[in-house]
Amino acid sequence: MIKLGKKDILGIQEMTTDEISLILETAESFLEISTREIKKVPTLRGKSVINLFYEASTRTRTSFEIAGKRLSADTINISASTSSVVKGETLLDTARTLEAMNPDIIVLRHSAAGAPHLLARMVRQSIINAGDGAHEHPSQALLDMMTIKEKKGRIAGLKVAIVGDILHSRVARSNIYGLTKMGARVVVAGPATMMPRDIERMGVRAYTIIEEAIADADVVMMLRIQMERQKQNVFPSLREYAQHYCLSRRHMKLTGPDAIVMHPGPINRGVEISPDIADDPACSVILDQVNKGVAVRMAMLYLLSGGNE
């Protein structure tokens, strides 16, 4: 019997390759449930999952809710904007209030890097990081790895180019940790003002020219520009950014054959990716990523709840 052996899932940085593989394999076994007429199994009956979101979300929050419901857990959604947070309650007081109601898992998205780590130390429930500031977004990286594995048959040995606002992207950080651990060769590209100075210490090669980064890539992962995290203008205008970094048809001639195009969403169409590429079923796997998100989050809830016990 294999168990995750962790109380919390806070980031990919602290995960082993065995733990990543276990989540991906468990998620693969859950994919089929979402294709059934009755999309529900009793696996987590009697468990409660609270989705506590201090930042906006469509994909992550909805898929954690669907994942919990498909496993028969009771799922409760709390948005900061409609909770006592607006009356000044702190994150810790909110968490302790929820702890007193005895849920099993709290899924937290917060604008502050490290917020889920703080909660994990302070409350007895399992904490899942659903995105903390510009730090990590582990469930996104896991669903991205699952999509790559399905589409390309493997992760090890692939060249993955991550392009865009690397500096402010928790998706980039989690994917760099995960993909390099799983044996991929990761390169990043973006304007110098959107590139962490010490990025190459994460085991990636950095470029400022997109054409150089995506040459012969098996996977091109475009990132959203994180306007909400930019404290100053890091490029002159969206138009200028798009001229240099918007993935378009001409770029696909430079990639490896059958390269796939990914984007975590939400997309700024015509800024990071041209609509004809985003909507091209021959290369775009953006909606496959969303689909895998439910299975990956089912696996995370399942394995944290005791797995195969």
Residue numbers at the binding site for ligand CP (CB under 6 A): 57-60, 131, 140, 264-266
- Residue 23 sits at the vertex; the CA angle it makes with 265 and 151, to the nearest 5 degrees, is 55
Between residues 251 and 263, which has the closer beta carbon with respect to ligand CP? 263
Q: State the minimum distance, in angstroms, from the CB of residue 243 to ligand CP.
A: 25
Length of the chain: 309
- Residue 70 or 263 with smaller CB distance to ligand CP: 263
Q: Least distance to ligand CP from the beta carbon of 62, Å?
A: 8
Q: Is 131 helix (H, G, I), strand (E, B) or coil?
A: strand
Place of tokens 């928790």: 170
- Shortest reach from residue 137's CB to ligand CP, in Å: 6
CB of residue 272 vs ligand CP: minimum separation in angstroms?
13
Q: Which is nearer to ligand CP, 228 or 309 (CB)?
A: 228
Q: 37-67: string of b/e by CB count within 10 Å (b at 16+)?
A: eeeeeebbeebbbbbbbbbebebbbbbbbbb
- List, in order, residues 6 or more apart from 193 with CB less than 8 Å away: 167, 234, 235
Nearer to ligand CP, 62 or 180 (CB): 62
CB of 140 to ligand CP, least distance (A): 5
**Interacting residues of 241 by C-beta distance below 8 A, sequence separation 6+:** 191, 225, 235, 271
Please, what is the minimum distance in Å from the beta carbon of residue 171 to ligand CP? 7
Judged by beta carbon, residue 19 or residue 144, the one nearer ligand CP is 144
Q: Running DSSP on this structure, what letter comes out for residue 256? A: P
Amino acid symbol at 271:
V
Output 103 or 264, the one with its CB closest to ligand CP.
Answer: 264
Sign (positive or negative) of CA dihedral 138, 118, 5, 182: positive
